[in-house]
Chains A and B, each alone.
Chain A
């Protein structure tokens, strides 16, 4: 199997991550139930006239995808693959709301067009003039991982040499309101540092866009090698451990080879147990990190985790703000990311220093 390299990264998130030279130097603390991205200076990337009509998801992704391409030192790619739970949901909501309020009259196409889940992937292709494979995955918490799986398969089977892979989701009002109604979003604000101790139901919802250039050729900018990605639509709590061991076995590894595990704890008292039981058993002697107190929870929040893992391997530094236990790794070579959302759509992603 050909190796798959992660040659560059790009991020727009609730932390100041849009500058690849920095690495969580200053942490933005929140005390809320929803957290928005820290906006980069969009004018540097998008002409203001175009930006006005643009969905937020497209704007964020224009910046993160451009940063990834620039860092990789390339102008085009063979394929573009995007994961997004909801696409440009802001436009979908506006279109539905206009349909109802105006009794299906006086509508304009822009909102509808941007509602297509594949708008971000399509817009990036249009901007680059990229005529290659163009896929969009929309499957809740494994949207981003589905994209990684597709990209990895393309690179290993000689279907492409360079792939732009990303995950994006935007935070919008009606979606927040309805998800608060059904208890998926916390009722009470919680501070970033207290997220895991909140002992309340639901999560703090966030947003963000993360893009990566994956290639079968290692560039000077290379961050890591993508070893494995696997997703599971369902998984009982007591099965997670077994799946991790099986994934590692396939790589001829054991848990001892994992220097750091990045967990998706989001402070939901009903579901964090999936992580806590691992922390207390299989991962007891493994260095652990978490991140959703910095990024918020959203369908493609694992894009932030993947960004974090790559950054840690490249800088050989685990920022204090993400440390979940006190185990010090003896080296930083291999990182495992585990995530699930509300007990469904589990994912395991394994990367290694290159």
Chain B
């Protein structure tokens, strides 16, 4: 367990851009991706705001060279586009030239199509191609096929909103322990009625732009995205003379064991996850230069996470911000897209603004970074928390530890 885990490629598509560069440009120029929903025909369209990706499924298929009539969910299409970009950056021509794995996180899988044809399946065979898409693993299997990955470890993690973070964590552990030489990790989720209505019943959707860590925050905006990273072992980096974008140096997963959907008041699980991640990286809290917070803008999350940050860092909380005001909460992908943002932060020595923040929370005097800030960054910590008490922390560093 002493091998470095290098990041050699990244790909992303979200409401603020169809590739990594567009995402970065939006983050530093303050261009948000939150709007009214246009691609899901929901009765709630006037009550909610979302982070929707501009491209339609037909456009995605065209971009990917997939025939229009092929049954592929939006979740899988987004995954393919982002993973292609990641592999391209990593300069991989033959994905099977070493022991390569694929680990993808998703919560909805092919639900965006399943919910459309749920009863129609019984009447006509027109959309039967989507039936198997309901399996969350189906989107990953299709992604593996698209990437040409064969005879390999391919799996899917679904731990709600920490799914992609956990996929990155598992991938890093598999490289470290020598089980894989290379692994494509990340996640994908598309907007659908299922999650819109689910979060609606939980009454944690904001009817306007989400405002992370603000005292008057009203809830989250759902978003959709896909993001993948290529992780490679030291041997492969050396063999192929790869350019390394950054390293995964710390990771930790813990369970809040408090409530199925709510975080504990003092953020016990979050503290444990951050402690574990620091321990794995061998770093001290004072080494963390920037925290990319989960910051969903729900009353519960931001209070719990804020308290956890105070418990972790005391009165030395580093600059922190949530990028969800830009993208919305992309559920399974949150930890994946924010991993991409964290690595970009390291590469560019820049901290992204926590938009829409006006009033400090009354419970503590934590102030997120609200403007773009240039700062020499060595280590960035990223949090992702999900239902089922699932708390995950990743640490990204410029250099291997």
Contacts and interface: CB of A to CB of B under 8 A. Distances in A.
B144 interface: yes
Nearest to B193: A99
A322 interface: no
A85 B388 contact: no
B344 to A, nearest CB: 27
A100 B272 contact: no
A129 B140 CA distance: 32
B151 A181 contact: no
Contacts of A239: 151
A133 B254 contact: yes
A31 interface: no
A182 B128 contact: yes
Contacts of A86: 134-136
B346 interface: no
B156 interface: yes
Given A109-B202, A118-B160, A153-B174, A134 B261 contact: no
A117 B158 contact: yes
B279 to A, nearest CB: 11
Contact of A122 (B166, B268, B390): B390
B67 interface: no
Contacts of A135: 157, 159, 166, 170, 253
Given A86-B134, A143-B137, A153-B179, A138 B144 contact: no
B115 A112 contact: no
Nearest to A231: B153
Interface stretch (A34-42, A172-180, A254-262): A172-180
Contacts of B155: 137, 139, 142-143, 146, 231
B350 interface: no
Nearest to A145: B155
Interface stretch (B77-85, B118-126, B292-300): B118-126
Nearest to B194: A96
A115 interface: yes
Given A109-B201, A125-B388, A125-B389, A132 B194 contact: no
B201 A181 contact: no
Given A139-B137, A181-B125, A233-B154, A125 B118 contact: no
Nearest to B144: A233
Interface residues of B, number: 70
B252 to A, nearest CB: 8
B388 A95 contact: no
B122 A177 contact: yes
Of B141, B151, B259, most A-chain CB atoms within 10 Å: B151
B98 interface: no
Given A104-B43, A118-B386, A233-B141, A138 B131 contact: no
B200 A140 contact: no
A206 interface: no
A167 interface: no
B167 to A, nearest CB: 10
Contacts of A108: 201
B212 to A, nearest CB: 22
Contacts of B149: 233
A119 interface: yes
Contact of A112 (B106, B198, B268): B198
Contacts of A44: none
A109 B128 contact: no
A136 interface: yes
B211 interface: no
A113 B268 contact: no
B236 to A, nearest CB: 19
B255 interface: yes
A112 B255 contact: no
Q: Of A80, A130, A135, which is in contact with the most chain B CB atoms at under 10 Å from its CB?
A: A135
Residue among B132, B157, B256 with most chain A CB within 10 A: B157
A157 B173 contact: yes
A150 interface: yes
B257 interface: yes
A133 B388 CA distance: 12
A181 to B, nearest CB: 6
B138 interface: yes
A126 B193 CA distance: 28
Contact of A119 (B173, B174, B193, B388): B388
A181 B115 contact: no
Contacts of B173: 153, 157, 159
Contact of B43 (A96, A105, A159): A105
13 contacts: A92-B194, A95-B197, A122-B389, A130-B255, A131-B254, A135-B159, A137-B157, A138-B158, A142-B154, A142-B155, A182-B128, A233-B151, A243-B151
Interface of A: 80, 85-87, 92, 95-97, 99-100, 103-105, 107-109, 112-113, 115-119, 121-123, 125-126, 128-140, 142-143, 146, 149-150, 153, 156-159, 174-175, 177-179, 181-182, 184, 230-235, 239, 243, 299, 344-345
Given A99-B193, A122-B260, A135-B166, 5 more contacts: A104-B197, A112-B201, A118-B387, A121-B388, A133-B253
